[in-house]
């Protein structure tokens, strides 16, 4: 299956730079709304500033977040690297960071309140390393290779 490359604009301060998101084409994309991201997903991980910002993103940015989140949550690569899905909410939050900020930074809170309530153990350093590897595989800077 060929690779598809898409360009989103990552904003850092006053300058914007292109961010290339690479992923295998699939029907696994998510379709979060701005309101779901702002009021339900992002606040769970302490992302209040990003939650406010996401209400004003373009349709193209929203679509890209959904595509990247689907890759993070359900792609074959994610299943292999992570040993299963990271979950849709976490994937959507990480995708929002990666698409809008282009930083690949960690979430402000490592676990959602729901994960804490369920007694979900914190991710180990090895698990976080695998998560970062998945994100690096999906994100590349510079010119995109041909889809040949």
Residue 131 reports pLDDT greater than 90 = yes
Q: How many helices (H) and strands (E) does the chain have?
A: 8, 3
- The predicted-structure confidence for 9-18, as pLDDT tens digits, reads as follows 344 343 444 4
pLDDT single digits (tens) 12-37: 343 444 444 444 434 568 999 999 99
Taking the complete model, does pTM exceed 0.85, yes or no? no
Q: Which of 130, 41, 39, 42 is nearest to 78 (CA)?
A: 130
């Amino acid at each position: 299956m060929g690779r598809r490359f898409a360009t989103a604009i990552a904003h850092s301060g006053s300058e914007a730079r292109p961010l290339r998101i690479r992923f295998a084409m699939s029907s696994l994309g998510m379709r979060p709304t701005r309101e779901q991201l702002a009021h339900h997903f992002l606040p769970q991980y302490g992302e209040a500033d990003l939650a406010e910002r996401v209400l004003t993103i373009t349709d193209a940015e929203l679509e890209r977040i959904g595509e990247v989140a689907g890759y993070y949550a359900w792609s074959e690569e994610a299943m292999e690297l992570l040993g299963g899905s990271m979950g849709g909410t976490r994937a959507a939050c990480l995708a929002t960071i990666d698409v809008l900020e282009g930083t690949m930074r960690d979430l402000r809170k490592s676990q959602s309140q729901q994960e804490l309530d369920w007694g979900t153990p914190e991710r180990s350093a090895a698990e976080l390393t695998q998560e970062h590897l998945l994100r690096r595989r999906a994100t590349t800077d510079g010119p995109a290779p041909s889809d040949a």
